[in-house]
């Protein structure tokens, strides 16, 4: 779900993803860390005034991986037998 949201935007902040996914703060943070370790996302942390702000974007590798996943899911769904 995180990858899908990031696929349609150039960059998103942590709070946007938190609201869109309905995940808890810790759960989202854990998922993003794993995606970052895999090379699928880049997280940039900064301060806006005195408040921390995290921006997240897909890497080219992440975008390609999501496109491949999306194509695979399309094929699976198209090949489901109909009633």
Domains, the chain: 2-78 (1.10.10.10)
Separation of alpha carbons 57 and 13, rounded Å:
9
The CA–CA distances, whole Å, from 30 to 24, 65, 66, 78 equal 10, 19, 19, 33
Helix or strand or coil: residue 48?
strand
Separation of alpha carbons 30 and 36, rounded Å:
10
- pLDDT tens, 7-46? 999 999 999 999 999 999 999 999 999 999 999 999 999 9
pTM summary value: 0.85
- pLDDT tens, 50-76? 999 999 999 999 999 999 999 999 999
């Amino acid at each position: 779900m995180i990858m899908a949201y990031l696929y349609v935007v150039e960059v998103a902040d942590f709070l946007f993803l938190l609201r869109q996914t309905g995940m808890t703060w810790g759960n989202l943070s854990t998922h993003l860390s794993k995606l970052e370790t895999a090379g699928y996302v880049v997280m940039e942390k900064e301060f806006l005034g005195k408040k921390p702000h995290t921006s997240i974007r897909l890497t080219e590798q992440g975008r390609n991986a999501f496109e491949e996943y999306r194509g695979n899911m399309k094929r699976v769904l198209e090949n489901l037998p109909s009633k």
